[in-house]
Amino acid sequence: MAHTTNYTNTFIEVSEDCPAECGVEPPIAENLSIAALHFRLIGEAPYTRTSDDVLFETHALRKGIDLGDEQARAEFFSKGQACLRTSPLSKRYGWGTHHDELGRVAMYPRDSEEYAALAADPALEHRRAMRSSRRV
């Protein structure tokens, strides 16, 4: 059974304990971090990839897997995967993600007018990114 992480017509707001007051670009390291890869994949082409696309491409780039390997993609999604609510972009770096009617994703900094408009849009489903720390 294939699992999916795709949302439609949904805005994922930054987590309640996100330390960034504005959208911050993750540091680019020699070995690209998950945050840096998510930032690059979503930022370079907004509304062209779904959450599943972003997560598989991140996995493939980190593991040296051919992006066109459908068997590897099917194997990756044969188990449940954490969705973009767990992305460091929304947990640590201050970026909300909007998923359109086709599940394609774009990101917006929490201090932008676009973020505020999406956060206030009653036509969208609203979710919070997962907290980084447990409540005490």
**Domain definitions of the chain by residue range:** 10-128
Would you say 46 and 95 are in contact if contact means Cβ atoms under 8 Å apart?
A: no
Query: Is residue 136 pLDDT above 70, yes or no?
Result: no
SS3 117: helix
Residue 30, pLDDT score? 59
Average pLDDT (18-25) is: 95
Residue 104 has what DSSP assignment? B
Average pLDDT (25-33) is: 80
Residue 31, pLDDT score? 66
User: Percent of the chain scored above 90 by pLDDT?
Assistant: 86
